[in-house]
Amino acid sequence: MFYQAKRIIVQEGFSGQVVERFSGDTPLAKQPGFIDMKVLVKKVRRGDEEVMILVQWQSEEDWKNWEKSPEHIAGHKAKIGKPKPEYIIESSQNVYEVKATK
């Protein structure tokens, strides 16, 4: 198994917008090898908020196929020239290969 992890830091009060963006229908769910996606919000009392999106794949190859898919590329092309929302402070992405489970 393989995981893609996106970490998005937003200004206080804006995590809901990120959750909404990643909670709707997406062509990702129909991609071969897609297992599931979880959207997590770090518990904080106040201040910047952190949203983590975990996408589980059957294999790294399945994830790479999604990255190269016309649907994924079209989604990114649609954002060209548009500024990112001002409430996003930072974002990053990492990928992980599962080496052990219990």
Q: How confident is the model over 32-62, as pLDDT tens digits?
A: 999 999 999 999 889 999 999 999 999 999 9
Q: Quick one: average pLDDT of 77-88?
A: 87
From the number of C-beta atoms within 10 Å of its C-beta (0-12, 13-18, 19+), residue 57 rates as: buried
Half-sphere exposure of 58 (CA within 13 A, CB side): 9
Beta bridge partners of 3: 56, 96
Q: Where are the domains of the chain?
A: 2-97
- What is the CB neighbour count within 10 angstroms for residue 74? 10
User: Which pLDDT does position 81 carry in this prediction?
Assistant: 84
Q: Does residue 79 have a pLDDT over 80?
A: no
From the number of C-beta atoms within 10 Å of its C-beta (0-12, 13-18, 19+), residue 15 rates as: buried
DSSP, collapsed to helix, strand or coil, labels residue 57 as: strand
From the number of C-beta atoms within 10 Å of its C-beta (0-12, 13-18, 19+), residue 51 rates as: buried
Domain spanning 2-97, CATH architecture: 2-Layer Sandwich (3.30)
Q: Is the distance from CB of 7 to CB of 58 less than 8 angstroms?
A: no
User: Which pLDDT does position 62 carry in this prediction?
Assistant: 96
